[in-house]
Chains A and B, each alone.
Chain A
Amino acid sequence: MKPKVFAMFVGPSVFLMLLFIAAPLISVLVNSFQVTQPIVEVVEVETCTPGFLTQTCVTEVKTVPILDDFGKIQTTTKWVGLQSYANVLELDRVGEAISSGAWGNILQIDFWKALRFTLTFTLITLPFVLGLGLAIAVVVNNATKAVKGPVIFVSLLPFIITPVIGALSIRWLFYGDGIVTVWLEALFMTDISVAANGWAVEFLMMFYRVWHVAPFAFVIFYAGLQTVNQDTLESAIIDGASRWDRLRYVIVPHLMPLIIFITLIHLMDAYRAFEEVVGFSSQSQRITLQWLTYDLLQPDDAGNRAISRASASAMLTMIGIVLILILPLRRTWRDHKGG
């Protein structure tokens, strides 16, 4: 294919990605180093109220934003270097917490709190997604042919459902006097209040994520199981391998590329977890890195959005993405060079 023809085919897509992905990235990077504020001036205002004999006058010093010709507030953009990053990281409070020995205080700071939760969330859900997905795939593969279609249909539902709605549907089972909470209370004969307990909410968020992603792992593993070499399996049986041995030494190695694929996708997706916080309304207890940026972008009570702080927190989130992607990208590069 000639370069010109190639450009005509790929052009629109590349243009969209440059305009709406690459350009915003650069603008976020620039924004994270500067702050835009309204220009204010200090004026003395004398307010007088009528009084007997003389007026009562009060002089106040006020800061007022300067308006331009159209009556809009004038703003100025200042280059502040790493100031926004420092505001997000709050290193002085971290240092204080370390020097006073109260390590737990670090987790009171929004960014570190979000980082801690995002990392534990990503790493703890991963083995459960892989394990549950593989277990369902093996079991469905084992089931009678007639039930496979309906089983796959039901299994796809948690995956296909809108993430916020999925999180909500689990929240309604547990929060307040949800039906499962009632059952658990009857089982353990105690009062349980899920929404008030940070760890219970954290557990529910992880549970939701596993419930939501396991079908994806299941479908991929199930497809992989169809291509397991039957001859290898038979020779393993002749060599006296038990069922467990066969799973361990034949099937899992065969599925290894798929396991890596799912791990990669899951790391990318769980690292940008966001809908859980919305669905479980956990912002006072557990937040994720992406939610932190989202929250800074939301207008506050005065209608201002903390764009530069949001940009800084977005760039910090990016560092994690780069770390996750380095290994697979190096591998792809080597394959490309070799092939």
Chain B
Amino acid sequence: MSDAAIPRAMRQPFGLKLASNLFLIFWLLLAAFPLFWVLAMSFKSPVDAFSSSAAEVIFGPETLAKGDGLSLIDMALGIAFIWLSIKAAVKWLMPMAAGVGTLQRVFSWLVICAGFAVMVIVGLFVVLPWILAPLNALAGPLGTPILGLTTEHYYAVWVENAFWQNFNNSLLVTAGVVTVSLTVGTLAGYGLARSGSNLAFWILIVALVFRALPHSVLVAGYLPFFINSAEWLRPILGENAPTLYGQPLAVIAVLVSINQPFTIWMLRSFFQSIPEELDESARVDGCTHFQAFRWVIMPVMWPGVITTGLFSFLLAYNDFLVTSLLLDASNQTMVPAIAGYFNRETTTTDQVEAVAAAVSITAPLFLLVMVFQRQIVSGLTAGAVKG
């Protein structure tokens, strides 16, 4: 819309526009600064990371003095490499993901993501340094490091402290929660959206009450049972009755159920936006309810399912309370594991490692927002604007 198209009375005086944009910039700084700062700290040696001068945290003179740093050429080539790989991913990899059938598409996406990750890691940490070493030596002033940057804390966290085990546990728990809660949730959401009965209304209301429950209340109910479950279940399951405490599968079941009220509310509102005539016509053509659901409704429901899946993922990935109480140290997920870091933080090195672990946990979420921004926004507004 050009300025002339706006009625005169709606046009804004310069002062108001300035104030509005200044406030916007202020908010963006406020939103991004803590995250940016943590990112900057994670790449610096402890002296720099906790320096009282902002410039030292960003440029890292101590880190540089220890011999870890990037020159201008490093930075230029690194940025170019990242930019090119994003371009390549969008241009070549995305079309390759087109497959027939949902399962196949999911599978090819997984393969492509894994392949891309390997390519980027090899490129960034093997190929680039190999090219850059002689190049820096030749380039003179352009080749001398100016920005202190070290990945030693990431190495310490992931390799030495075996954070990858926690990563695996997180992966297992979130994958389980998303799959099960979507399967169970879509069925229920469809049933609730298509039934006008009083029972459906009451199920939704009870689900709303359940959504408000503090999770610690529920965990207080599970704990005594989970710890003694081997004894309690022995009459039913015989000698190999499991102790549920510390079992990722038990945690998946718990998180799915805690998540269920929210999931069915959200999926119901998505199903309601699909016209009922669609399943009626399928039923006229001789489909059962379930066939109509599977072959007519589900194909148009994918956006809603993806959005709900994102929120299930967030709940499982971000959870601290349930996983820290129901899992033991040997199969802890990432978020409770980081609590261990800052509780025992004694030296500044430990603290920077905690910062690096925090950044590692945040990075997947960052990618998630980048890829699925539109779905997240639509998910947030789905419940509010329609209901």
**Chain A residues engaging chain B, CB cutoff 8 angstroms:** 1, 3, 5-6, 8-10, 12-14, 16-17, 19-28, 31, 36, 132, 135-136, 138-140, 142-143, 149, 151-158, 160-166, 168-170, 172-173, 176-177, 179, 182, 211, 215-216, 219-220, 223-224, 227, 234, 237, 243, 258, 261-262, 268, 271-272, 274-275, 278, 281, 289-291, 293-294, 297-298, 305, 307, 310-311, 314-315, 317-318, 321, 324-325, 329, 332-333, 336
Whether, in the assembled complex, B159 has its beta carbon less than 8 Å from a beta carbon of chain A, the answer is no
Q: Select B34's contact among A135, A169, A237, A281, beta carbons within 8 Å.
A: A169
Q: Which residues of B contact A169 (CB under 8 A)?
A: 34-35, 37-38, 358
* Chain B window 119-140, contacts with chain A (Cβ cutoff 8 Å), 1 for yes, 0 for no: 0000000000000000000000
Whether, in the assembled complex, B188 has its beta carbon less than 8 Å from a beta carbon of chain A, the answer is yes
* Chain B window 207-238, contacts with chain A (Cβ cutoff 8 Å), 1 for yes, 0 for no: 11111111111111111110000000000000
Closest to A262 in B: B384
Q: Which residues of A contact B221 (CB under 8 A)?
A: 23-28, 31, 311
Q: Select B213's contact among A5, A19, A318, beta carbons within 8 Å.
A: A318
Q: Is B216 a contact partner of A324 (Cβ separation < 8 A)? A: no
What are 21 A-B residue pairs whose CB atoms fall within 8 Å in the complex? Answer: A1-B191, A9-B187, A9-B191, A16-B256, A21-B261, A27-B225, A136-B27, A156-B377, A162-B318, A162-B362, A164-B338, A165-B361, A168-B342, A169-B34, A177-B52, A179-B54, A220-B384, A278-B339, A297-B219, A310-B216, A325-B212
Cα of A153 to Cα of B368 in the assembled complex, Å: 11
Size category of the binding interface on chain B: 35 or more
Q: Is A156 a contact partner of B32 (Cβ separation < 8 A)? A: no
CB distance from A298 to the nearest CB of B (A): 8
Q: Select B212's contact among A166, A227, A324, A333, beta carbons within 8 Å.
A: A324
Cα of A271 to Cα of B214 in the assembled complex, Å: 8
* Chain B window 17-51, contacts with chain A (Cβ cutoff 8 Å), 1 for yes, 0 for no: 10011011001101111110110010000000010
Closest to A21 in B: B210
Q: Is B320 a contact partner of A275 (Cβ separation < 8 A)? A: yes
> Contacts A157-B31, A307-B220: A20 and B253 contacting too (C-beta < 8 A)?
yes
Q: Is A155 a contact partner of B31 (Cβ separation < 8 A)? A: yes
Cα of A315 to Cα of B213 in the assembled complex, Å: 10
Q: Select A21's contact among B16, B184, B257, beta carbons within 8 Å.
A: B257
